Amino acid sequence: MAYNRGPTREAIPLSPIAFAATAFGLILASTIAAALVRTRLPEHHLTGDSKDVIKLAIALIATMSALVLALLFASTRTSFERTSGYVSRVTADIVEIDRLLKHYGPEAAPVRAALRTEIDPMIDSIWRDAAARRGAVPGRERTHEETVLYMIQDLAPTTGVQRSIQARALQVGADLTQTQLGLFSQPTDSVSNTFVIVLIAWLMFIFAIFSLSSPPNATLITVLGICILSASAAIYLILELGMPFGGLMQISSDGLRSALD
Computed over every residue of the chain, the mean pLDDT equals: 83
What's the whole-number mean pLDDT along residues 78-107? 91
Give 250 or 1, the one with higher predicted confidence: 250
pLDDT at 9 over 60: no
Is a pLDDT exceeding 70 seen at residue 95? yes
Asked if 16 contacts 232 with a C-beta cutoff of 8 angstroms, the reply is: no
Sort 146 into a burial class: Cβ within 10 Å, 0-12 / 13-18 / 19+. middle
Q: Do the beta carbons of residue 202 and residue 253 sit within 8 Å?
A: no
Give the percent of the chain with pLDDT over 70: 85
Q: What is the mean pLDDT of residues 96-120?
A: 91
How much is the pLDDT for 144? 41
Q: How confident is the model at residue 45 (pLDDT cuts 50, 70, 90)?
A: low
Q: Which residues contact 47 (CB under 8 A, 6 or more apart)?
A: none
Between residues 99 and 135, which one has the greater pLDDT?
A: 99
Q: What is the pLDDT of residue 193?
A: 79
pLDDT value at position 10?
A: 41
pTM of the model: 0.74
Q: Work out the pLDDT band at 138, boundaries 50, 70, 90.
A: low
What local confidence, expressed as pLDDT, does residue 129 receive?
74
Q: Is the dihedral of CA 110, 113, 115, 118 positive or negative?
A: negative
Full DSSP string of 56-104 = HHHHHHHHHHHHHHHHHHHHHHHHHHHHHHHHHHHHHHHHHHHHHHHHH
Give ∠ CA 69-62-223 in degrees, rounded to 5: 95
- Mean pLDDT of the 115-132 span: 83
Structure confidence by residue, pLDDT tens digits, 164-188: 999 999 999 999 888 888 777 666 5
